[in-house]
Structure 1
Amino acid sequence: MTGAFITLEGGDGSGKSTQAGMLVAALEAEGRSVVRTREPGGTELGVEIRRLVQHTDGHVAPRAEALLYAADRAQHVATLVRPALERGDVVVQDRYLDSSVAYQGAGRELDGQQIRDLSLWAVDGLLPHLTILLDLDPAEGRKRMAAREDAPFDRLEQTGLDFALRVRAAYLALAEAEPARFAVVDATGSPEAVHERVMSHVRGMLAAGR
């Protein structure tokens, strides 16, 4: 593969969608061909899975939730991400397998290693060249979410603060375990300030040969 695969991770309200948009605009301004996508929902099948997981009334069993996300990921990588990378594009993606480890693993208290193994099997081992972890205190993230125009929260966003704290801790543990792939970025401050922090890591990765 000759393209570059960049993912953005973080808790709810950390600014992933905003930073993805700003990153895409900056890379396109430099003349790069960029594909922006997200999980779940990056494909037609993914849109339906996103609806099922995030907006289904009633309880969704944690293992069922994890399997639905893995199914979306397999389709997404096979039909969108890998073809884009093979064309030489930069793929900027909002959430990837690390979200499943953090949310379904630590958050839902499933086995994180099993969740990771399931996801890696689903994508045939594909890992990002760079994962930006937007780190923010969960309480601040919830304040941001409450102020959004598209509130109320979906089913995952309605979970308690303890859930969000476990997710944050899991993300930071993942970053510590894979420092060559992860870049932890302070998500406090203005979107422009956070964007500059993100771009410093992206430029470094691209300069290294991606």
Structure 2
Amino acid sequence: MTDSTLATGLNPDAPAGVPGRFVTFEGIDGAGKTSHLDELEKRWRAAGRDVVRTREPGGTPLAESLRELVLHQPMDPLTETLLVFAARRDHLHHVIEPALQRGAWVLCDRFTDATFAYQGGGRGFDLSVLSTLETWVQQGRQPDLTLVFDVDPAIAAQRLSAARSPDRFEAQDRAFFERVRAGYLARMQATPARFAVIDAARTPDEVALQVEAVMAQRGWW
């Protein structure tokens, strides 16, 4: 795949009338997005769609190795940011772009919005540097739709406490997640048409209905 293909996302051999779609799920740790991602994947597969389920950081052997470093090894914010974008570049080249080129529907657990929220908001890293890296690495590629599962950090912390041993991010204090949540809000305000906000404080059934409504509105359900 050439750089021009990555930049444009165009593929003359893609199935006619069946364009690939790129949908991302975002939210602070403990927002509960994973089970709803599972359900959407199941529904789309049952509808006969070619679905690629992936995650960030991760999605390729190299990116998964970088994920382990980012989640578990101490490092400064610049190193952390560079590793996240390196993983993303490999992920785009080897998974996301090829899938979209053949007309697949890509479901990704986190993407660049998480970087602006966690590294930019949470860590306080320079947003202008993040924007430059975003341009270099993605060459214009953005999700068609991003669902942000929004929840108060206090509720998210209660959920996480019963889930598992925390990684470097999950172990952060409430103030960190307040900044992350604000980072997501700022990202949504910059390009609101791409986002749908899900009230993740509600019951799982109520959250599922919100996701269904978003997909139905776009004719993707």
Q: Deviations over 1:157-207 (max 9, x none)?
A: 111111100000110121122111011110122323212211221232346
Using the TM superposition, name which of 131-140 and 183-192 deviates more: 183-192
TM-score, normalization: structure 2?
0.88
For residues 191 and 26 of structure 1, the distance between their equivalents in structure 2, rounded to whole angstroms, comes to 16
Name the SS for the 1:183 alignment partner.
Answer: strand
Structure 1 counterpart of 2:100, from 85, 96, 100: 85
Name the SS for the 1:5 alignment partner.
Answer: strand
AA aligned to 2:121 is A
- Which residues in structure 2 correspond to 1:49-88 (within 5 Å)? 49-56=66-73, 59-88=74-103
The alpha carbon displacement at 1:119 in A equals 2.2
- Which residues in structure 2 correspond to 1:134-153 (within 5 Å)? 134-148=149-163, 151-153=164-166
The alpha carbon displacement at 1:113 in A equals 3.1
- Residue 157 in structure 1 maps to residue 174 in structure 2: no
Structure 2 counterpart of 1:11, from 12, 18, 28: 28
- Which residues in structure 2 correspond to 1:97-108 (within 5 Å)? 97-108=112-123
Using the TM superposition, name which of 77-86 and 168-177 deviates more: 168-177
For residues 135 and 150 of structure 2, the distance between their equivalents in structure 1, rounded to whole angstroms, comes to 24
- Residue 188 in structure 1 maps to residue 205 in structure 2: no
Percent identity, aligned pairs only? 42
Name the SS for the 1:180 alignment partner.
Answer: helix
Kept after mapping to 2: 8 A contact 1:130/1:205: no
- Residue 36 in structure 1 maps to residue 56 in structure 2: no
The alpha carbon displacement at 1:8 in A equals 0.5
Name the SS for the 1:157 alignment partner.
Answer: coil
Structure 2 counterpart of 1:26, from 18, 43, 57: 43
For residues 122 and 9 of structure 1, the distance between their equivalents in structure 2, rounded to whole angstroms, comes to 20
RMSD between superposed Cα atoms in Å: 1.3
Gaps of 5+ in 1: none
Number of aligned positions between the proteins: 203
Q: Which residue of 2 aligns with 1:172?
A: 185
Kept after mapping to 2: 8 A contact 1:32/1:90: yes
Q: Which residue of 2 aligns with 1:204?
A: 217
Name the SS for the 1:11 alignment partner.
Answer: coil
Name the SS for the 1:155 alignment partner.
Answer: coil
Kept after mapping to 2: 8 A contact 1:101/1:113: no
Say which one has the larger Rg.
2
Kept after mapping to 2: 8 A contact 1:134/1:187: yes
Q: Deviations over 1:72-129 (max 9, x none)?
A: 0000011000111111111000000000011111111111232133123112220000
Name the SS for the 1:12 alignment partner.
Answer: coil
Using the TM superposition, name which of 66-75 and 26-35 deviates more: 26-35
TM-score, normalization: structure 1?
0.92
